[in-house]
Copies of this chain bind each other. A is one copy, B any other.
């Protein structure tokens, strides 16, 4: 590595260490922190975030970056050196405009907002969360003000999570997706073919669900010597280094499928983080390319693999061994249909593959309205419920099952949700490509062999860390851009078979 790139890299070690430490503090806050620890924790996280921001946006970083840019001029676009410098320039030019005080303020706001959200959700009381959401929205206003925007203020927020993507482009993709999903859902509903998933509505002891989720994580290749699972209100994956990538899960006694698919979903995220080139640790190349690409990995494992017939050819005996009484008389076909039951429902993370993206459209539209000022924070519950009625034909019975269900706003993040649907699109595209390149891919799942797929993803996606944008990555792997059609094709084929459309 060139001398100036190396110097830049070393200068930023502290930045990455502070960020990693803050991730530990945040993980602890959600997993183990006693309730009254929150105020001090907010200050601690604000301090670490501020100090990290100061290092990253320092004049010294600017100088080292310029010297490094001169050094990598003419190097391969794909080289580690050129990529590191390119990614740092992109992030630096954005972050240098944001004052440190605003970063510290976000840490403080969100530490409190998270606790308020958890309480509000538990009590189904939006009032408890509203003032915190107001602070979050106001904070995002400030960021948009500072960074500016070309077409839409939401572009500025989206760019944090999906660099290079615009609101207009997302709207176009979502439009296509909607045009295909709505008739598919109508066909399924019109067909009226009942799916019996009543066997899930029994008592599934939590410790057994835990064991099954651990087994599932092991099966798909999650490395427990470099990670662990814990329990939280909202499942998530977090990374402290390529050798410490943790997942969380939640367990409901009457919904064993929920913890199972959460495990595989978070496992998909974690496989990504555990699969990045270890040489990228403590640098800006560590981690997932974009949140959309990240979600493509979690959704690929959760849905395309985890909800496939072949996966359960292999795994149903394991599941049955843990729940012999509950699974009495449940055949593979009945089970397969049950985990793929299509039905409009309130909770996004529990939604089936067909309706899931409708949940995202709701959030995408509400967030745009919040950031343009067309929607007031006080009116979020009503707007939420109206959208659910419009898209899914149902109205949440309370805000816990409505606008309080997601943790994201309490983390201060507006602009994040669209990446979930983008991830679904990319998952289908990646899987179609993998099928072309790997003979007998689907059959390998029936043998409990997930290394063919994992190896392919490691090489094509994971290894590269943040080197490429989503568009670049998809171009390299599939030869095309992000499109809605592959997902629509996948869903149409799968559900035509299940519902005999």
Selected from B20, B34, B230, the residue in CB contact (under 8 A) with A44 is B20
- The stretch of A125-133, A219-227, A388-396 that contacts the partner chain: A219-227
- A61 CB to closest chain B CB (Å) equals 16
Residue in B51, B228, B282 whose beta carbon sits within 8 Å of that of A32 in the complex: B228
Q: Count copies of this chain in the complex.
A: 2
CB-based nearest B residue for A29 = B24
Is B230 in contact with A34, judged by CB distance below 8 angstroms?
no
Interface centre among A20, A36, A46 (most CB of B within 10 A): A36
Task: Select A34's contact among B28, B32, B228, beta carbons within 8 Å.
Answer: B228
Q: Which of B44, B46, B281 contacts A40 (CB 8 A)?
A: B281
Tell me the complex Cα distance, A14–B13, Å.
Answer: 19
Q: Cβ of A277 < 8 Å from any Cβ of B?
A: no
User: Is A18 in contact with B47, judged by CB distance below 8 angstroms?
Assistant: yes
As a 0/1 sequence over residues 1 to 38 of chain A, the CB contacts with chain B under 8 angstroms (1 = contact) are: 00000000000011001101110110010001111110
From B18, B44, B244, give the contact of A41 (CB < 8 A): B244
Contact at B282–A35, with CB atoms within 8 Å? Answer: no
A242 nearest CB neighbor, chain B only: B40
A24 touching B34, Cβ below 8 Å: no
Q: Is B48's CB under 8 angstroms from A243's CB?
A: no
B residues less than 8 Å from A242 (CB atoms): 40
Cα distance, A18 to B48, chains bound together (Å): 7
Q: Which of A43, A230, A281 has the most CB of B within 10 A?
A: A43
Cα-based distance from A48 to B28 in the complex (angstroms): 17
Provide the bound-state CA to CA distance between A32 and B48, in Å.
22
The answer to whether B226 and A14 have CB atoms under 8 Å apart is: no
A296 at the B interface (CB under 8 A): no
Judge whether A241 is part of the interface by a CB distance below 8 angstroms. yes
Shortest C-beta distance, A339 to chain B (Å), equals 30
A336 at the binding interface (Cβ < 8 Å): no
Interface residues of A in 201-250 (CB under 8 A from B): 224-228, 230, 240-244, 246
> Hey, what's the 0/1 contact readout for A416-431 against B, CB within 8 Å counting as 1?
0000000000000000
Residue of B nearest to A230 (CB): B32
Is A39 part of the contact surface with B, judged by Cβ < 8 Å?
A: yes
Q: Besides the contacts A21-B22, A33-B244, A37-B241, what 4 more A-B pairs have beta carbons closer than 8 Å?
A: A14-B51, A21-B21, A34-B228, A37-B226
- Jot down 7 A-B pairs with beta carbons below 8 A, ordered by A: A20-B44, A34-B224, A34-B227, A34-B228, A40-B242, A40-B243, A41-B244
- What are the 6 A-B residue pairs with the smallest beta carbon separation, nearest first? A40-B241, A37-B244, A17-B47, A36-B243, A17-B44, A36-B226
